[in-house]
Every structure is written in C-alpha cells, then in structure tokens.
Amino acid sequence: MRLGAQVSVSGGLFNAFKNAKEIGADSMMFYTRSNRQWKAKPISVEDQEKYKATAEEYSAIFPAVVHANYLMNLASPEEDKWAKSYDAMVDEITRTGQVGVNNMVVHPGSHMFKEKKATEQQIIEAEWAGLDRIVKGVKRALDETAETSPDVVICLETMAGQGTNLGFKFEHLGYLIKEIDGGDRVGVCFDTCHVFTAGYDIRTPEAYAETMALFDEKVGLQHIKCFHFNDSKFDLGSRKDRHQHIGKGFLGEQAFANLVNDPRWADHPAHLETPKSEDNEETGESVEMDPVNLAKLRSLITS
C-alpha cells in the first residue's frame, strides 16, 4: 500500500510534498482550503503551476488525495444550507482538478432529523430522504464539472454514524453509488475507525474477510479508491468518531495487518488521521507521531 498521512499546506499547497517527505510518507492527503470555512481564496494559476512542478520534483510521493471541507452537507433538508453546500462541492471539485489530483474525499452528509421521540421508521425515512438529497447534489455537481474537472473522483467516506451522519451503513454507500450513476467519478474512502465503530468488525482475519465480503455485496470492492487508517478510542458499534494511534485503540494491530497484507490494496493510498503528537511518558517531551504510526504500519507487512 501507499502509506501516508494528512499533511499541512501552510505556506502553499506545494509544501505538502516537503511535509510528506519529512514524515516518511509514500503518499499524502491535504486540504486545498480551510476545512471549516465556507469561503476560500481561489488557487492562482501561479500556485497551480508551482504545485504541479513540485509534484514532478517529489515524484516518489504519490498519489495525492484531497479532503473536502467539513461544512458541506448535501443531505440537509434546509434549502439555503443545501445550496451553499452544493456551491462548495463544485468549488472543491474544481480546486482538486486545478492541481491535478484525482481522488477527493467527501463526508456524505447528515439528514438533521433530531426529533427526541422519533420512531425507528421516522429515522429510517429521514436517512433515505437525506440520501436522495445527496444523490441530487452529487449528480448535478458531476455534470457541472464534467468538462473542467473530468478526472476528479468523489470518494464518499464511510462514516461512524454519530448523530445524524449518513454513510455508516454499507447500504447507504451502495445506494448512493448506484443512484448517482457517476461511473468512474464516484468511489469510496474506507475509514477503519468509522467502519469499526459503525459496527463492522475487521479485527481478525475471519472478521475482516466477512466484512469485506459484505462490503463487496452491498457496495462493491472495486469502488474503494483510498483508505483512512485510524485506530479507535471506542469499541465496536459505539458509533463514535474518535481516532487513536495505530495499535493503541480497540482495533489493534491485527486489523491493520489484515489490510496492509491484502494484495487487493497493494496500489491504494492509505492515510493517517491520527493525533499528530503525543507527550513522551518519561521525558514529557512532545513526540511527532506520524512517523511512529507509519513505522508501525510498515512493521505489520509480511507479504
């Protein structure tokens, strides 16, 4: 696998490569803009060219993946929020295409139905209504960017199921991909922490094989374009999204050994979203953890 991490682009998008090299990454993931602001400064032609030139200089670091901002919610029932999210989605696709990156990770969205005494049926109806709003937005965004960013693939992320988030059931992702009908321009980002806390076990070779077979049935393994490698601070089915260092959480080392030794993912990028630092218990000094987590993942490779 192409192992890497989410890296900073402070000072310019091109700096992602230097930061990736410093932690020993084979690939990298980054934001092209603030992940928690609606408005973003356009990427100038000069910055686009500088990024592409740096990509050639650091050709050993590939592929790059862009993560879209967190504010977008195409599942929102509020028209203004949906329209704002749609515009942001088009902008994110455009920015990703401008720097020549193919895969763009997107959180599917949240249906926002929070009635305290809601029945299970009402919640299910809210989920599927939210999924249909996502379909509408992604289909339109793909059409609008078909000529400007034809190579950008929207990678819908598997989610933990916190709150009203969608995408925590494999059925959700299968439905989205089928209904969007975007061909090669729609895929999945498989997040280990999210899948696990959503209720799908990957901790043993047997559990991993069963979960991947189920994913293949409900979604299709061919749709997985990239991975997020995160251990979990919470247990199976907790539906909580809290990342932990590799091997230090409820997933444990074997879960990641199952993935890094699976030949189906040999050329796929997998990126850490684990805490960036941790205090040394003996010295109290802060330790940069991306190199530590990458080294742990590589130590698990046996094939």
List 2, 31, 33, 67, catalytic entry = 67
Whether residue 63 has a cis bond before it, omega within 30° of 0: yes
Known active-site residue 58 = no
- The verdict on whether 157 is a catalytic residue reads yes
Give the active site residue among 49, 57, 70, 87. 70
- Is 67 an annotated catalytic residue? yes
Catalytic residue among 91, 92, 157, 231: 157
Residues 93, 151: Cα–Cα separation, whole Å: 10
- Of 36, 46, 115, 147, the active-site residue reads 36
Residue 151 is a catalytic residue: no
Contact 194, 237 (CB under 8 A): no
Does 245 participate in catalysis according to the annotation?
no
List 91, 191, 231, 290, catalytic entry: 191
Active site residue: 33, 107, 133, 185, which one?
Answer: 107
The catalytic position among 243, 245, 268, 271 is 243
Examine the residue annotation and report whether 70 is marked as an active-site residue of this protein: yes
Q: Rg of the chain over CA atoms, in angstroms?
A: 19
Q: What angle do CA 81, 144, 179 make, to 5 degrees?
A: 75
CA distances in angstroms from 209 to 56, 68, 174, 184, 259, listed in the order given: 38, 30, 19, 25, 10
Catalytic residue among 228, 245, 268, 271, which? 228
Rounded distance between C-alpha atoms, residue 28 and residue 8, angstroms: 10
Active-site residue, from 2, 95, 185, 194: 194
Does 268 qualify as catalytic in the annotation?
no
Residues with a known catalytic role: 36, 67, 70, 107, 157, 191, 194, 228, 241, 243, 273
